[in-house]
Amino acid sequence: MDRDAVAALADETLDWRFKAVPADAWGRTVRGWLATGPTLDSLGTPLLTLDAAALDHNLRTMAAWCREADVLLAPHGKTTMAPALWQTQLAAGAHAITLANLPQLRVARAFGVQRLLLANTLLDPAGLAWLAAELDRHPDFAFTSWVDSADSVRQMDAALRAAGAQRPVEVLVELGGPGGRTGARGIPAALDVAAAVHAAPTLRLAGVGGYEGALAHDASDRALAAVRDYLCDLAELHRRLAPDYPTPTPVVTAGGSAYFDTVAEELTPLAEEFPGTKVVVRAGAYHAHDDGFYRGISPLARTTGATPLRSAMHGWARVVSHPEPQLALLDAGKRDLPFDEGLPEPQLVRGAGELTGAEVTALNDQHTFLRGAGESAPIGAVVRLGLSHPCTAFDKWTLIPVVDHADAQHPRVVDLVRTYF
């Protein structure tokens, strides 16, 4: 990764473009403002913050888990779209960064990420021409994408030929599952895709992959069985393709933040059966983690004796109206906080302590409906909200303050994380 490009983010001038930044910081650089020693009290609402201690804890915990489980980690970068956070993931031992589409790839290349996994199919001809040029210009750039049909293989091949691509593009055959998202349905269909890749001069078959998270959404026995069945099929696909891979180090990849334990259990035996096989998990949400969906489903919360992850993200919103005794309206809404995997959870009132018995019942574009707080959340009080789903939290903020400890009485702002969505 280009450390200078990441370091240069601290030279960005703060102004009205960044909604988290108070007006008295305008005109200063990120570096200059942080040097003034700001605290959370100097920031306004609505606000999203990250917690440095929790981010670090999650980074170390996941890196240790992957080492122990014998899997490589290619964190999904679309969760944060924050090159500075990707840099910490790579420094903690991540093997590559995973991304979902062409604009995300371009961000990663602008910051010099050398090993990228596109967990998707790239068919846009102009995008493939850009990719081919990028690969040819940078021999140390390693790129792998997915394909799930012979049609997409043909279209990729035609576009890469038209672009005069010199280096073959590595692709994994994507296996899907019934009711899931993309991915060839069934092993025979996936074998046909592999045959098409072998016949395409601009592509090179580098392994198999897929996303079990598209097939299950909870940790019930039924959901876990569906995930396991799917992973057995993925392993079997690898077995069938292994004799013909044109590489000694093929990749088998699955695993978001919900089922990476089952992924490791089902896929790591492949590395013994076929030495050289790299098993890669792609968890992205683990880094910020949450107080909602992932708190409930994370394998590190479900496994006895495991070190759980900690939520590193919080919302902060001010009571701006108390029109009914048990209804308070806060100044954060859908534009500021995630709401697609559960509503925010009221946790505390700043300076007053824990907030119990209250509930967020709805979010409008710019308002939170807090019920049941009564006099514990008077007009002007600032409420800390636990959040669910990092992927739809980061995309609402271009610059996110990082505090040292969100639980401290006066958390210090120690960084500002720039995102590029």
CB 119 within 8 A of CB 209: yes
Q: What is the dihedral of CA 224, 118, 57, 349, to 10 degrees?
A: -80
**CA dihedral (219, 225, 230, 233) positive or negative:** positive
Closest distance of CB 283 from ligand PLP, Å: 4
Contact between 285 and ligand PLP per CB under 6 A: yes
| Piece of 160-168, 261-269, 278-286, 372-380 that binds ligand PLP (CB under 6 A) | 278-286
Q: CB of 211: closest distance to ligand PLP in angstroms?
A: 4
d(CA 292, CA 416): 24
Stretch that binds ligand PLP, among 86-94, 134-142, 281-289, 343-351 (CB under 6 A): 281-289
Give the residue with the Cβ less far from ligand PLP, 213 or 401. 213
Q: Give the x/- contact pattern for ligand PLP in 65-84, rule: CB under 6 A.
A: -----------x--x-----
Question: What size, in residues, is the chain?
Answer: 421
Give the three-state DSSP class for 188. helix
Task: Out of 95, 109, 238, 282, point to the residue binding ligand PLP (CB under 6 A).
Answer: 282
Of 309 and 381, the one with the shorter C-beta distance to ligand PLP is 309
**Run of H or E residues at 363:** strand 359-363
Decide: is 283 part of the binding site for ligand PLP (CB under 6 A).
yes
Q: What is the x/- site pattern for ligand PLP, positions 365-394, by CB under 6 A?
A: --------------------------x---
- Residue 86 interacts with ligand PLP (CB under 6 A)? no
Give Dmax (Cα) for the chain.
70
Taking contact as CB under 6 A, which single stretch among the options 227-235, 255-263, 361-369, 392-400 is the one that binds ligand PLP?
255-263
Task: Write the binding mask 197 to 236 for ligand PLP: x where contact by CB under 6 A, - elsewhere.
Answer: --------------x-x-----------------------
Number of residues this chain uses to bind ligand PLP (CB under 6 A)? 13
Stretch that binds ligand PLP, among 32-40, 134-142, 251-259, 394-402 (CB under 6 A): 251-259
Does residue number 256 form part of the binding site for ligand PLP (CB under 6 A)?
yes
Of residues 108 through 127, those in contact with ligand PLP by CB under 6 A are 119
Q: Can you tell me the distance from the alpha carbon of 215 to that of 316, in angstroms, rounded to the nearest whole number? A: 33
- Whether the link from the prior residue into 46 is cis, omega within 30° of 0, is yes
CA 7 – CA 28 distance, rounded (Å): 16
- Distance in Å, CB of 238 to ligand PLP, minimum: 17
What is the Rg, in whole angstroms, of the alpha carbon atoms belonging to the chain? 23
Q: In what order do the strands lie in the sheet with 72-73?
A: 72-73, 278-281, 251-253, 203-209, 169-174, 142-147, 115-118, 97-99
If the CB atoms of residues 197 and 285 are measured against ligand PLP, the closer one turns out to be 285
User: Is residue 387 within 8 Å of residue 290, measured between CB atoms?
Assistant: yes
Q: Min. distance of Cβ 279 from ligand PLP in angstroms?
A: 14
Nearest by Cα to 129 from 167, 168, 165: 165
DSSP state of 120: S
Q: How far is the CB of 213 from ligand PLP (least distance, A)?
A: 5
CB of 46 to ligand PLP, least distance (A): 24
Report how far residue 251's alpha carbon sits from residue 259's, in angstroms, rounded to the nearest whole number. Answer: 18
- Which positions ≥6 away from 97 have C-beta within 8 Å? 74, 75, 77, 86, 89, 90, 108, 113, 115, 116, 117
- Segment lying near ligand PLP (by CB under 6 A), choices 224-232, 256-264, 346-354, 412-420: 256-264
**Burial per residue of 106-130, b for 16 or more beta-carbon CB atoms within 10 angstroms, e otherwise:** ebbbebbbbbbbbbbbbeeeebbbb
- Tell me which stretch binds ligand PLP (CB under 6 A): 51-59, 263-271, 276-284, 399-407: 276-284
Task: Find the residue with minimal CB distance to ligand PLP.
Answer: 256
Q: Examine residue 284 and tell whether it contacts ligand PLP (CB under 6 A).
A: yes
Binding site for ligand PLP (CB under 6 A): 76, 79, 119, 211, 213, 256-258, 282-285, 391
